[in-house]
Amino acid sequence: MSSELNRRTFVTGAAAVAGTAALAPLLSACGGGGSKSHGGTNSKAGSAAALPAYVPSSAVHPDVASTSGAHDALTDPGFVTYPANPAKSVTEVPGAGGHYTAITPLWATVPAPGNAFYEAMNKALGATLTMKPGNGNTYNTTIPTLTAARKLPDWVQLPGWWNPLFKVGELAGTQLADLTPYLAGDKIKKYPNLAAQPTGAWQAGMWQDKLYGIPTFASGFALPGQYYYRGDVFASKGINAADVKSADDLVSLGKELTSAKAGVWAFDDVWQYTDQIFGYAQKFTISGGKLMHKYEQPEFIEALNWCYKLAKSGLMHPDALAGNNNDAKTRFFAGKVLITADGQGAWNEADAQSGIAADKNYRRASLTPFSADGKATPQLFMNPSAGMFSYLNAKLKPAQIEECLRIANYLAAPFGTAEYTLVNFGVEGVHYTRGTNGPTPTKAGQAQVQAQTFPFLATGVNVVNNPDFPQLTQDRCAWNSEAAKYAYKPVFWNMNITVPSRFATADAAQAVEDTIKDVYHGIKPVSAFQDALSTWKGSGGGDRLVAWYQSTVLDKFGSGQ
């Protein structure tokens, strides 16, 4: 069995550690109210000139091909089995004998320096990369210390959810190298594996019409999450989940599933992705050329009212109503709740193993997208195509940048290639053994390779792969293919926006968010939200914030859609 780090699982888990959504809008804050803005978003013309060409890789053929969806969505390919004879995607040793230091976050035990895996990697790369993993739990303090002293390493991973804290917009062009001259347009074709990254992933690493970030863990169809159900329980009850075609259908099903006396409730906390049912925006929508915040959309009020009624219906688990989300998975595994909301990374091999440990019949499945009234077309907004990026130091000379980009091209090899196998599993016989389900790490592999470092510098695009659960891969890919039909790019998609600090409180809207939480938990009525919204719009600075987005971003740079 493979224990290679599942990329979606990592991004979801790392986001929890960071305390925010890993793939949230890529926002950054600049100095005081009157200070000059650094960084910021990109013009349409500037993006077109700087973005690399997209050339899909043909190095490996997946078992389940990617599916093209609406608005350029492209689902992750699926691999039911690991390629038996990994092909090479890089024909020459990429390095030229250079020496570089790299810092990446690690939420695990740091491997010993100079270990056998690092030595094997440096030999294959033809250069010496001194990996210095930083404690993921304190990474948010490590990087600002380095940037303040202007002592960033040659290569560094800066997760997008920390853009405001790291002030990436200010670092771009000052401490971080501009990669536009090396990668724009057809120039990227020198690096075929990098050229296979989704265009949106490169766009998410741009600042002020220039390309800085090398995307990692990128996807052509990233969603914030979805609705899951216990597929095994539904099957045992003869319930066809495809019959749920409206919000009313879902409530009716909830009544059928709930038995408080038996300790079973239909729903866990389901507010988080109600936009997929009711059709309100990620943050903004545009009407008649004018921005409207989601708080003011009728669909948002409708969703909040529906969740308030659900909270009062007796169909939600009491612990979910109490805001105890830490045990949500445990409740789902135990069959105490049968319908839940969770991130895309929840549907994988690790989840199946944990679920089966609690119930041998466990099978997670996902509801097919539907709209509130059962008539409108469902709408699923896509997350940024990448939420993590590595950057090269602006002090590097052109020849060094080119060497590092060749190395990045090696690290970005597609799933199942010879290069991918080395980067993610190490040396056969030392770090892994090969079985029927692909590479299985040895103890040395667990300590030196699975505590991943190199993938934070560059990776191939995401894939769906669950070695011991091939049907899970098929199910995941089938759902993605259907859901991609309803994908859309939200306003300011993949745009880095530098929000002045004077609007930080209004942008966070914490008082409104706290009230929303109380409403969907049934503690306060919907009218409490409307009161909080009124305060936010006025003295809370909400209207001024929306006006700033309108004049400074939308009117000048467009919507990113």
Return the percentage of the chain with pLDDT > 90, whole number.
85
Please write down the HEC assignment for all residues of 286-320. Answer: EECCEEEEHHHCHHHHHHHHHHHHHHHCCCECHHH
pLDDT at 270 (0 to 100): 95
Same fold yes or no, 66-222+386-450 and 226-381+501-557: yes
Q: What is the pTM of this model?
A: 0.90
How many whole angstroms from its chain centre is CA 110?
A: 24
- In CATH, what is the architecture of 66-222+386-450? 3-Layer(aba) Sandwich (3.40)
Beta-carbon contacts of 245 under 8 Å, excluding residues fewer than 6 positions away, are 370, 374
pLDDT at 338 (0 to 100): 98
Q: What is the mean pLDDT of residues 40-44?
A: 70
Does position 556 have pLDDT exceeding 80, yes or no?
yes
Full DSSP string of 144-160: HHHHHTT---SEEEEEG
Distance between CA atoms of 293 and 542, rounded to whole angstroms?
9
pLDDT tens by residue, 360-407: 999 999 999 999 999 999 999 999 999 999 999 999 999 999 999 999
CA proximity to 99, closest of 78, 119, 141, 129 = 129
Does position 2 have pLDDT exceeding 90, yes or no?
no
Mean pLDDT over each residue of the chain, to the nearest integer: 91
CB count, 10 Å around CB of 58?
Answer: 11
Beta-carbon contacts of 44 under 8 Å, excluding residues fewer than 6 positions away, are 557, 558
pLDDT at 43 (0 to 100): 73
pLDDT tens by residue, 12-32: 444 333 333 333 444 443 433
pLDDT tens by residue, 291-308: 999 999 999 999 999 999
pLDDT band at 505 (very low <50, low <70, confident <90, very high): very high
pLDDT band at 7 (very low <50, low <70, confident <90, very high): very low
Beta-carbon contacts of 351 under 8 Å, excluding residues fewer than 6 positions away, are 329, 364
pLDDT band at 560 (very low <50, low <70, confident <90, very high): confident
- What's the residue count for the chain? 561
pLDDT at 45 (0 to 100): 80
Q: What does CATH list as the number for 226-381+501-557?
A: 3.40.190.10
Region of 9 (left: φ > 0; alpha: ψ -120 to 50; beta: rest) is alpha
pLDDT at 253 (0 to 100): 97
Query: How far, in Å, are 36, 203, 248, 308, 378 from residue 554 at the CA level?
Result: 19, 17, 37, 34, 25
pLDDT band at 561 (very low <50, low <70, confident <90, very high): confident
pLDDT tens by residue, 185-242: 999 999 999 999 999 999 999 998 999 999 999 999 999 999 999 999 999 999 999 9
Region of 280 (left: φ > 0; alpha: ψ -120 to 50; beta: rest) is beta
pLDDT band at 86 (very low <50, low <70, confident <90, very high): very high
pLDDT band at 35 (very low <50, low <70, confident <90, very high): very low
pLDDT at 20 (0 to 100): 34
Distance between CA atoms of 40 and 377, rounded to whole angstroms?
34
Domain edges within the chain: 66-222+386-450, 226-381+501-557
pLDDT at 334 (0 to 100): 96
pLDDT tens by residue, 304-343: 999 999 999 999 999 999 999 999 999 999 999 999 999 9
pLDDT at 40 (0 to 100): 59
Q: What is the mean pLDDT of residues 68-88?
A: 94
Judge whether 6 and 475 are in contact, CB under 8 Å: no
Does position 461 have pLDDT exceeding 90, yes or no?
yes
